[in-house]
A and B are shown apart, each in its own frame.
Chain A
Amino acid sequence: MKGKSGSRSEHQSPLRRIGMGILYFVLVIVALVQLYPLVWLFQLSLKTNQEVFGMSPFALPKSPRWENYINAWFDGGINKYFLNSVWYTVVAVLLTLILASFVTFALTRMEWKLKGVVLALFMIAYMIPLHSTLIPLFNIYNKINLIDNPVSIILSYTTFNLPITIMILLGFYQSLPREIEEAAVIDGCSIHKIFFRITLPMTVPILSTTAIINMIYNWNEFVFVNTFISSEKWKTITVGVNNFVGQYLTDWGAIGATLVISILPILIVYLFLSDRIIEGLVAGSVKG
């Protein structure tokens, strides 16, 4: 069935055109649906609490409340937390990517006995629920004096993202052609040279992908920050959101404003990294 209609459409351009028309129609609709949350968030950020509740949630605010942004910036403390979020995220993402690449390289390219065990250890590490780890982790950090120290956050982000990053990389390393590496071995390249000069550049597309994923996780994380950090000066932007949640009142407009401000940086970085996914491919195939 599929084959027939497919091969016919190769020749009958009107049918093909209709097919493409439908395809684009669907693609555009989905794109609108996916873009809408951003629009909604922006609307939310300009509303009063009264407009947020009870009124149609998708109506425009009567008069936009730009004060929400001022509240978010000062009361929410974004001005204080922003840089922390940036450097925790950047450092943790880089650490995770490089460490995970090391491990994946060793697991897929090198020859040693305990491979299976080590892989299993990383996979099982992905399975533990976050809330089971909080009390033991607090104890560990407390013993080594890392409570209220950003190192605890970076270590947690790196470690807890390692298993998933390794698993994603694994699928790619397995499908990467090995010929170049094998050639390099014959040429007498050292193992580090092979890893850094050949394998790592070939994985730029997937590294960009995992970088995006890691970045989003770290940027939006708040459980670790709230648990291990107590000083204002070390908190992150997600704390700003939570500053507007109270027992008897939650200021949704200000939360919306905080979320808009906090999504902008990762949106920009995302768009940048997103292009690397393809660029890397070009670089890789040139090599090949």
Chain B
Amino acid sequence: MKNVMSNKTAIVLYVLPSLLLVLFLIYIPIVLTGYYGLMDWSGVGQMKFIGLENYKKLIHDKLFWESTWHSVLLAIFSVLSLVGYLIVSLVLASKIKGANLFRKIYIIPMLMSSVAIAQLWIKIFDPMNGLINSLLSMFGIKDTPLWLADPDMALYAIFVPIVWQYAGFYIIIIYAALINVPQELIEAARIDGANAFQIAYKIKVPLISGVLKVLTILAVVGSLKYFDLIYVMTGGGPGHATEVIASYMYKEAFGKFNFGYGSAIGFGLLIISMGTTWMIQKMLRTNKE
């Protein structure tokens, strides 16, 4: 048995193609990003080596830490929303009538491109004749909120479409995991008198914990480097109220021609992501034991 499962040629054959692709097309850029971070470079013309200057500046850059905080908040919200997706998936994966149809419908928004989603939610949040404020004023509320235009509210308002956009992604994965849970175990528990909640909590959830762990990491890392809707819907504004690490990096590198500093931000993001992932893995491991 050992012989077959430690077949060296097979391992190389299975792993090497992917590894080479990732090394060439992702790791070279990662290394170069770190390297550009050591340069004073507009992206055009001469590079000037300035050592750790960019990284020093990064550590003292209030705006960078503010954006990091926003990204971290988004990560927290995304992880919390996983609980909601888990509940929805549990319902959809139970044997209720029409579950199949509901599941298909629930995932449809995921098919839409960010361009459409951004435009839809801009219209929903529009302070003058957007959906929410139209409803509010129908109920006689006069002083309707400004949503994305209000610096104190914009960040939380924009979390809603982001979290919603990814609902389908998480639901479809959790669902696939749930229906993979062996039916015999559930039947056995039912015969023992366990109710639906107990089966869900004591059997289904622990059995898919591996998947949930992965999803937590994906949610956190995905949030930390999140860019799309923020850039289209608020551009990080008003006044950096919705600035996140990736939008800040983009603005520096592509907007302001500070490619060196932008690269340093990108590298900083990478390190933050690595640190956070390491922490999550530690936490999830100790939780279990």
Flag if B22 contacts A125 (CB, 8 Å): yes
Flag if B107 contacts A274 (CB, 8 Å): yes
Chain A's closest residue to B169 (CB) is A213
Within the complex, the shortest CB–CB distance from A51 to chain B, in Å, comes to 12
- Bitwise, A1-36 to B at CB < 8 A (1) or not (0) is 011001101100000000010010001001100110
B286 in contact (CB, < 8 A) = no
B32 in contact (CB, < 8 A) = yes
Contacts of B25 in A (CB 8 A): 133, 137, 140, 155-156, 159-160
Chain A's closest residue to B259 (CB) is A135
Q: Which residues of B in the span 204-237 have a Cβ within 8 Å of any Cβ on A?
A: 207-208, 210-215, 217-218, 221, 224-225, 227
- Bitwise, B125-143 to A at CB < 8 A (1) or not (0) is 0100111001000000000
Within the complex, the shortest CB–CB distance from B278 to chain A, in Å, comes to 10
B160 in contact (CB, < 8 A) = no
Flag if A6 contacts B196 (CB, 8 Å): yes
Q: Would you give 8 A-B contacts (Cβ < 8 Å), ordered by A?
A: A34-B105, A37-B108, A103-B15, A129-B225, A172-B211, A177-B182, A209-B172, A281-B180
Flag if A278 contacts B22 (CB, 8 Å): no
- Of the candidates A54, A57, A156, the one whose C-beta lies within 8 Å of that of B131 is A57
A186 in contact (CB, < 8 A) = yes
B side interface size, CB within 8 A:
104
B17 in contact (CB, < 8 A) = yes
- Bitwise, B92-124 to A at CB < 8 A (1) or not (0) is 000010101011111111111111110110011
Within the complex, the shortest CB–CB distance from B93 to chain A, in Å, comes to 10
Q: Which residues of A in the span 227-283 have a Cβ within 8 Å of any Cβ on B?
A: 238, 241, 252, 255-256, 259, 262-263, 266-267, 270-271, 274, 277-278, 281
Flag if A131 contacts B214 (CB, 8 Å): no
B4 in contact (CB, < 8 A) = yes
- The CA of A127 and the CA of B176, in the complex, are separated in Å by 25
A44 in contact (CB, < 8 A) = yes
- Bitwise, B69-104 to A at CB < 8 A (1) or not (0) is 000000000000000000010010000101010111
Flag if B6 contacts A112 (CB, 8 Å): yes
Flag if B22 contacts A44 (CB, 8 Å): no
- The CA of A220 and the CA of B250, in the complex, are separated in Å by 20
Flag if B6 contacts A111 (CB, 8 Å): yes
A162 in contact (CB, < 8 A) = yes
A side interface size, CB within 8 A:
106
Flag if B29 contacts A133 (CB, 8 Å): yes
B195 in contact (CB, < 8 A) = yes
Contacts of B274 in A (CB 8 A): 124, 127
Flag if A175 contacts B10 (CB, 8 Å): no
Contacts of A35 in B (CB 8 A): 105, 108
Within the complex, the shortest CB–CB distance from A156 to chain B, in Å, comes to 7
Chain B's closest residue to A260 (CB) is B116
Contacts of B6 in A (CB 8 A): 110-112
- Of the candidates B11, B109, B213, B218, the one whose C-beta lies within 8 Å of that of A110 is B11
Contacts of A40 in B (CB 8 A): 120
- Bitwise, B42-62 to A at CB < 8 A (1) or not (0) is 010000000000000000000
Flag if A99 contacts B18 (CB, 8 Å): yes
Flag if B5 contacts A171 (CB, 8 Å): no
Contacts of B88 in A (CB 8 A): 30
Within the complex, the shortest CB–CB distance from B260 to chain A, in Å, comes to 12
Flag if A263 contacts B177 (CB, 8 Å): no
A127 touching B225 in the complex, CB below 8 Å, given contacts A110-B6, A191-B7: yes
- Bitwise, B170-194 to A at CB < 8 A (1) or not (0) is 0011011101101100000000010
Within the complex, the shortest CB–CB distance from A224 to chain B, in Å, comes to 11
B253 in contact (CB, < 8 A) = yes
Flag if A259 contacts B112 (CB, 8 Å): yes
Contacts of B249 in A (CB 8 A): 129, 131-132
Chain A's closest residue to B6 (CB) is A111
- Of the candidates A44, A128, A170, A186, the one whose C-beta lies within 8 Å of that of B30 is A128
Chain B's closest residue to A103 (CB) is B18
A86 in contact (CB, < 8 A) = no
- Bitwise, A87-110 to B at CB < 8 A (1) or not (0) is 000000000000110110111011
Flag if B120 contacts A274 (CB, 8 Å): no
For the A-B complex with A102-B15, A172-B180 known, give 13 more contacts whose Cβ atoms are closer than 8 Å: A3-B197, A56-B129, A109-B5, A111-B2, A127-B270, A127-B277, A129-B245, A135-B36, A137-B25, A162-B21, A170-B214, A208-B176, A241-B115
